[in-house]
Chains A and B, each alone.
Chain A
Amino acid sequence: MSETLTQIWQNLQNIFAQLSTLYIPPEEIPAKLSMFQYPFVQRALIAGLLIALCSSLLGVTLVLKRFSFIGDGLSHVAFGAMTVATVVGLTNEMILVLPVTVLTAVLLLKTGKNRKIMGDASLAMLSVGALGLGYFIMNKLSTSANVSGDVCSTLFGSTSILTLSKFDMWLCVAMSMIVITVFVLFYNKIFSVTFDPDFASATGTRANAYNTLTAVITAVIIVLAMNLVGSLLISALVVFPALSAMRVFRSFKSVVVCSAAISVSSAAAGIIASIFIGTPVGSTIVVAQILMFVIFSIIGKIKSKG
């Protein structure tokens, strides 16, 4: 008994010893800061912040439409497509992954309205199926020496954001610009369709067209976000900023603006922190998002009391 206790005590001490490595001595800070002059770090920051911005803009709509799960399903499909692309030996996986994911998104939305065919369970089936198949293909057919490392980085995006090529970054920038432009131009319609689709289509707004548009944009963002946080953590980018903002703000516009701010700042904090303390980018960003959520929940509580 006492042996187990000593064992636990020792483990705890180890954990604290590990935690202390999170502390950066002041004299090391300039060296760490000099990291930011490397192009690959700058590229990671630019791409990361844009992806975070886009996913939070869309996240509000997705959360309110109860579509959070679609993001999750799509990211798993994107993972499956990614493994196929890797095994086939495509140099640029996007060529396969992007169309497959966009297509799935459109199909999901088309059938999603007809609950009899595409219920909760079938979506779960699709998403887990793609994940399992992807891992299977990776394991069996990959020529890479480090299969589990590859899988891990596709799922959790361990370092891929830091290895973005110039082309990848510009692709990210271009896609984000398109997404942001579409969002701004159609903002009012998106609000109307999200708030009350029946009213919107009854008064002449093509609700279905906007739903398809949302699905396509979601798919694009998910493929981009795989670089940043990996496919398992994408939902965090979509869900956390929106939910945090909704704790405090009460109008659609303020929620959108606030969730964009939350998302960008936690992505920045996450990327910078991951460089300083050497943790994986994706999970560090998610930790930052969780902290933000806690802070906003507390603010929301105080605000509603006061």
Chain B
Amino acid sequence: MADYQTQISCRDLRLGYEGRTVTEGLTFEVNRGDYLCVVGENGAGKSTLIKALLGLNPPLSGEIAFPGGLKAAAIGYLPQHNAVQKDFPASVKEIVLSGCLGKGGFQPFYTREQKALAERQMERLGITEIKSRCYRELSGGQRQRVLLARALCATEEILLLDEPVAGLDPKVTKEMYEIIDSLNKSGVTVIMVSHDISAAVRYASHILHLGPTPLFFGPKSSYVKTDIGKMFTDYAGGDDK
């Protein structure tokens, strides 16, 4: 967190599909070591923003810049309700290893370093014991850890997490948040989509509140003072305490 180098800078983005606008007027920056939490209602365009940052769905207008020279291969991504099919036969190890692929161009087999990296990330997330298990037989929390380990194999720079705690029980949710928090403390920039505003306010350094036009962007200390921030934090605070 030492140098406040800008990693992502978005200027006046308009996002949508096939010309239909979902959200517009989006301007924000993400600096190295930030923990940005993206909140907003269902359909506000949170996943759309993540996809735009990943280059999967280019913005209708506006500009996304990576001043620090961030490359696609340096982005780790955790998809929302994993698009993965129920019957896919894949072991935990195979999935985690596949995170290493973006780096080298043409490379038919995994190198020893990549295997070691995958082992390290599995260790870090406590899934070493289940590494030969089949992904589809895991619980929701275990699955999220596997996908997080895969994302970490892709990068240690910046993680885009789309609702990493959706569908997890309170205990596992807390564990997940703590894992993400410790990753952030170790220097990984985190951009997380969440509906859990109380957690967002507790862990994040910055908040982006999406609507048809952005409702808020800034450090969380000013977010809790705004009307919208108050409204949501009071509401969320109710069931938290």
A residues with CB within 8 A of B: 64, 184-189, 191-192, 195-205, 246, 249-255
Contacts and interface: CB of A to CB of B under 8 A. Distances in A.
Interface of B: 51, 54-56, 71-73, 75-77, 79, 82-85, 87-91, 94-95, 97-99, 101-103, 107-110, 132-134, 137, 150-151, 154-155, 160
B71 to A, nearest CB: 7
Contacts of B79: 196, 198-199
A251 B77 contact: no
A201 to B, nearest CB: 6
Contact of B109 (A188, A191, A203, A255): A188
Contact of B56 (A187, A188, A191, A202): A202
A246 B89 contact: yes
Contact of B84 (A187, A196, A200): A196
Nearest to B53: A202
A188 B98 contact: yes
Contacts of A201: 54-56
- Interface SS of chain A: helix, strand, loop or mixed? helix
A11 to B, nearest CB: 42
B72 A202 contact: yes
B134 A196 contact: no
Give the most central of A184, A201, A250: most B CB within 10 Å. A250
Given A191-B94, A195-B84, A205 B108 contact: no
Given A186-B108, A188-B110, A196-B84, A252 B90 contact: yes
A66 to B, nearest CB: 8
Contacts of B102: 200, 203-205
A203 B89 contact: no
Contacts of B51: 198
A250 B109 contact: no
A178 to B, nearest CB: 15
Given A64-B85, A184-B108, A189-B101, A250 B76 contact: no
A195 B98 contact: yes
Given A184-B108, A203-B75, A203-B77, 9 more contacts: A186-B108, A191-B90, A196-B82, A196-B83, A199-B77, A200-B98, A200-B102, A203-B154, A253-B91
